[in-house]
Amino acid sequence: DAGVTQSPTHLIKTRGQQVTLRCSPKSGHDTVSWYQQALGQGPQFIFQYYEEEERQRGNFPDRFSGHQFPNYSSELNVNALLLGDSALYLCASSLLSGRGEQFFGPGTRLTVL
Amino acid sequence: AQSVTQPDIHITVSEGASLELRCNYSYGATPYLFWYVQSPGQGLQLLLKYFSGDTLVQGIKGFEAEFKRSQSSFNLRKPSVHWSDAAEYFCAVGPISGGYQKVTFGTGTKLQVIP
């Protein structure tokens, strides 16, 4: 079992650009959540996908969007990048029928210059 | 709204000493509670979880945590710390029911272990 995988590992973009991050959930999981972790902070919930639909959303602007595919993998898209979007982006997978126990990937480190 | 407070930003302990990391939560009912550990540059690993029942829960790597409803706390403990325990620790609270699960994390406590 490969666990949760994310790509790419690192990414450097400039302000105003767009970025797409990818996540493959743990085998058997059907729910994917995305978090933003700024330096020195705890993870902040961005949104959660189940059955290819966004089910919950945190306090993030519409520049942050996502997608879930039939194989449960997911993408996070961020448009019009700002310097403040620089962070570690974590993907977590879980079972909807579970109790919130999430398994995390290693994250994608995004740097916006 | 649910929230988590970890009052200690940074803690230093000697190897072999005992450890307690504090966590207080705010939630309308009994929540699901978690402790995660994050090594530098890594994702989060689940140490232990509390859903219901026995208020003292055992986790991996010799960690345990105690749920105290009256104090809205879920403190993490370890009797004897090893140098490899140096990392950042996050307490988190989740919804009581299944369904769409929004998990809220605290700001973390960074643990330094000195020889």
Q: Inspect the interface and report whether the beta carbons of B49 and A48 lie closer than 8 Å.
A: no
A8 φ/ψ angles, rounded to the nearest 5 degrees: -75, 180
pLDDT of A112: 97
Q: Cα dihedral sign for A67, B97, A43, B88?
A: negative
Q: Which residue among A48, A55, A99 sits closest to B32, beta carbon to beta carbon?
A: A99
CA distance A107 to chain B (A): 6
pLDDT of B99: 54
pLDDT of B72: 92
pLDDT of A1: 65
CA distance B37 to B99: 25
Q: Is A72 helix (H, G, I), strand (E, B) or coil?
A: coil
Q: Which residue among A42, A50, A92 sits closest to B107, beta carbon to beta carbon?
A: A42
- Is A21 within 8 Å of A108 (Cβ atoms)? yes
Residues of chain A in contact with residue B21, where contact means CB-CB under 8 angstroms, are none
Q: Inspect the interface and report whether the beta carbons of A48 and B100 lie closer than 8 Å.
A: yes
- Is A51 within 8 Å of A35 (Cβ atoms)? no
Residues of chain B in contact with residue A45, where contact means CB-CB under 8 angstroms, are 102-104
Tokens of B65: 């945590």
pLDDT of B97: 52
Whole-number percent of chain B with pLDDT over 70: 93
Which residue on chain A is closest to B110 by alpha carbon? A40
Q: Inspect the interface and report whether the beta carbons of A100 and B42 lie closer than 8 Å.
A: no
Residue of B22, B10, B111 whose CA lies nearest to B61:
B111
pLDDT (tens digit, 9 = 90+) per residue, B49-90? 998 888 999 999 999 999 999 999 999 999 999 999 999 999
pLDDT (tens digit, 9 = 90+) per residue, A62-91? 999 999 999 999 999 999 999 999 999 999
pLDDT (tens digit, 9 = 90+) per residue, A19-60? 999 999 999 999 999 999 998 889 999 999 999 999 889 899
Mean pLDDT of B99-107: 79
pLDDT of B42: 79
